Structure 1
Amino acid sequence: MTLLHSILENVKNSEGEAFVYDEKAIEEAIENRNNEKSNIAIKVLSVFGGFMAALAFLGFLFVLGIYDSASAMLVMGMLFLAGAIALNKFFDRIIIDTFSISVYGIGLALVIFGMADMGMDEDVITLVVIGIAIISLLIAQTYMLSFLSVVTIAVGVMVLIFSNDSYNLLHAYVFVYTLALACCFLGEGWFLATNKKLAKLYGPIRIGLIISLLMGLIALGKRDLVPEAHGYIWLSSLPIALCILYLVYDIIGVLGITQTRTKVLIYALSVAVLVPTILAPSIAGAILILLLSFRVNYKTGMVIGIVALVYFVSQYYYDLNFTLLTKSIILLCSGVAFLFFYLFISKKTNP
């Protein structure tokens, strides 16, 4: 009897005869997921090789003079995109999957260059690219292309914000992606159980949302990049802090903590950790990613969250327009709050 069969039988015994399952389909899904994780190196090498081959082909097109015609670039780019989507749609092999990503990227570049040569407005070009990414996400539901599409949409939104000098909209960007990421993590069961196609897209959408949120947080962390947005920097900190507090509430319920005094202490420590991040939403965002990943045991997200937290703390220390003493006091207080939080959790989990 396999471990999976034993787990499914235990669930069936607890849920009753109404609980039905397809063990073979579950085993295939687990195997496919493990293959995606174990073939990362092969995918990276395949993308590199495919990219080099595509560049050689573009060189051939350059010799033919395709870059002298905006229409030719646009048509060729659309053909590249259609070919990449078709390969991802009808073939489920690693080499073809990763090669098609390179073809997709080059096709997207040709479309952008073609529209730019035609004198189209920058915002229109960006909206077209976002539209292509959305269509790609809906049609070709493979891991790498779906991830690339999610990130492309986020990049397109960022380009619209910066090209129109609407830096304060970065707060709206962070709000939307914070909410989307929290819903994605906390609603994992719903996403996986509702629809087979949605379940297949869940993995790439999740990591894509993490990267998309980090892009907004990095932009907010650069004072010289978006100076106007820093006048209302707390606007980005507020939704992140609320999500973290809700996550703390959720974890308290999972751990079965019922004592009012203990709950109050946990919330007090949480607020003590979050208060110093009011002027640094990037740090709070990294903490949110880390906690969400810990909540669902998503190891990749935890690694990204730790790296992001280290980077944003360093950025916070060097970029803030405070004196060295003030910054040191703020970081010291944050560190003390973290230590108290750690000691409290350790005491509760190891009585």
Structure 2
Amino acid sequence: MAFKPSLRDVLPAGLQEQARAALASSQEATASMPWFVRVLTGFGAWLASIFLIIFISIGVLGVGEEVGAIVLGLILTGAAVLVRYAGSNVFLTQLALSTGLAGQGLFIGGVGALADEKMAALATVVLQLVLLFVYPDVIQRFLSALFGSTALLFLLRLTAPGVLVDVTLVGLTVLAHLLFLHQARLQSGRWRELVSPAGFGLVTTLLFSLVVRTWFHDIYGRSFREDATGLPAGVLTLGLAVVTLYSTWRVLEETDSEPGGAAGVTAFAALGLMAVLTLQTPGVIAAIGILLLGFHRRSVVLLGMAVIFILAFGVGYYYDLQFSLLAKSLALLGSGLMLLGLRLFILRRFPAAEEVR
């Protein structure tokens, strides 16, 4: 069985020739410029934008540091959007991206210096939400989803109860799963160019937030207000487990497998048991959910992220001083035996069919 489906598998016969022609033209356009030329062109664009920003800063920031930074940031960000719409070659793309990122940094920094960190976080959420829809670039849209969702969590940590922060994190997880589960349908609609970058941005926010929560307890605790308390780790793990179980159910339906059958019950039982064994480390079940989406969507990037963060959460759990060595040993032993037993059960209960050549 092929790892990725062919055009013959996913497209009707009438559209296959059109798709092949589009792929061929895209490959010819990409191959027309060597990679080192694209790298040098992009480097030149970033260098040109740096000199441009320095030149404008000398004249604008003299009016007032905070107000000047806000004005200059908005000007550069707006100019970046216009430049990106003007052309899609490597130089203009990288020039617009570098200028836009510098403008965003100046604007957010100016708002923070003029007001406080709460207003800076709010300004980040609003600005990134606007750029997510108006800036026609995959990288910027990914960064907008990443920066905007991270700023939203930080803003809630400063202003709202800690429970709401964890509930919002679960909500962002639900949104990321829905984007990838319905990716094919959403990419045929009006906002098709937003689906993938927004999904990857939300997944990155989720995983890095859980890494900070798992590895850096003190830093994570100081980001809350003094009277704010978050959800217990076990409750957050159960919430993320429910999201993973829902995605598993949808994947089973899409692959014409009965969720109530032997395969579905086996998958649900394994995920539930894994969530119980790693109750104090919510990142493990979250990364397993990303791993599921990666296999379902044939995404090498999602698979790589999930594997790396599963290892990171496992290491964080093992070296966490809040747990005794006995608890860590039992959790590792139990999860290892469970996975080995599950593998043996699957091999015997669901033998792989012979590959048809």
TM tier, shorter chain? Answer: 0.7 to 0.9
Sort the Cα spacing of 1:194 and 1:315 in 2 relative to 1 into closer, same or farther, 3 A: same
- What is the CA–CA distance in structure 2 between the aligned matches of 1:160 and 1:41, rounded to whole Å? 42
**Residue among 93, 97, 108 paired with 1:101:** 97
SS at match of 1:212: helix
Sort the Cα spacing of 1:258 and 1:241 in 2 relative to 1 into closer, same or farther, 3 A: closer
Q: Do the aligned partners of 1:89 and 1:139 also contact (CA within 8 Å) in 2? A: no
Sort the Cα spacing of 1:333 and 1:131 in 2 relative to 1 into closer, same or farther, 3 A: same
Say whether 1:299 aligns with 2:300. Answer: yes
Structure ranking higher in helix proportion: 1
Sort the Cα spacing of 1:35 and 1:165 in 2 relative to 1 into closer, same or farther, 3 A: farther
- What is the CA–CA distance in structure 2 between the aligned matches of 1:31 and 1:148, rounded to whole Å? 29
Q: Name the aligned partner's letter for residue 192 of structure 2.
A: A
Moved more, 272-281 or 43-52: 43-52
How high is the TM-score relative to the length of structure 2? 0.81
Counterpart in the other structure of 1:151: 146
1:116-127 equivalence runs, <5 A = 116-117=112-113, 119-127=114-122
Q: Do the aligned partners of 1:257 and 1:263 also contact (CA within 8 Å) in 2? A: yes
Q: Name the aligned partner's letter for residue 88 of structure 2.
A: D
CA RMSD of the aligned region, Å?
Answer: 3.4
Q: Deviations over 1:103-127 (max 9, x none)?
A: 111101221233344x324322322
Q: Deviations over 1:215-249 (max 9, x none)?
A: 32123213223347566222321222112222333
Say whether 1:199 aligns with 2:192. Answer: yes
Q: Deviations over 1:182-211 (max 9, x none)?
A: 10111112202223xx11222211211211
1:297 CA drift (Å): 0.9
**Residue among 107, 110, 117 paired with 2:106:** 110
Counterpart in the other structure of 1:174: 169
1:301 CA drift (Å): 0.5
Say whether 1:210 aligns with 2:203. Answer: yes
* Identity value in percent: 21
Q: Do the aligned partners of 1:5 and 1:23 also contact (CA within 8 Å) in 2? A: no
Structure 2 stretches lacking a partner, 5+ long? 222-227
Moved more, 124-133 or 145-154: 124-133
Structure 1 stretches lacking a partner, 5+ long? 13-19
- What is the CA–CA distance in structure 1 between the aligned matches of 2:305 and 2:240, rounded to whole Å? 17
Q: Do the aligned partners of 1:88 and 1:100 also contact (CA within 8 Å) in 2? A: yes
Q: Do the aligned partners of 1:178 and 1:239 also contact (CA within 8 Å) in 2? A: no
- What is the CA–CA distance in structure 2 between the aligned matches of 1:34 and 1:311, rounded to whole Å? 40
Counterpart in the other structure of 1:336: 337
Say whether 1:226 aligns with 2:220. Answer: yes
Q: Do the aligned partners of 1:142 and 1:201 also contact (CA within 8 Å) in 2? A: no
Q: Do the aligned partners of 2:172 and 2:202 also contact (CA within 8 Å) in 1? A: yes
Q: Do the aligned partners of 1:98 and 1:144 also contact (CA within 8 Å) in 2? A: no
Q: Do the aligned partners of 2:238 and 2:275 also contact (CA within 8 Å) in 1? A: no
SS at match of 1:279: coil
How many pairs does the alignment contain? Answer: 337
Counterpart in the other structure of 1:285: 286
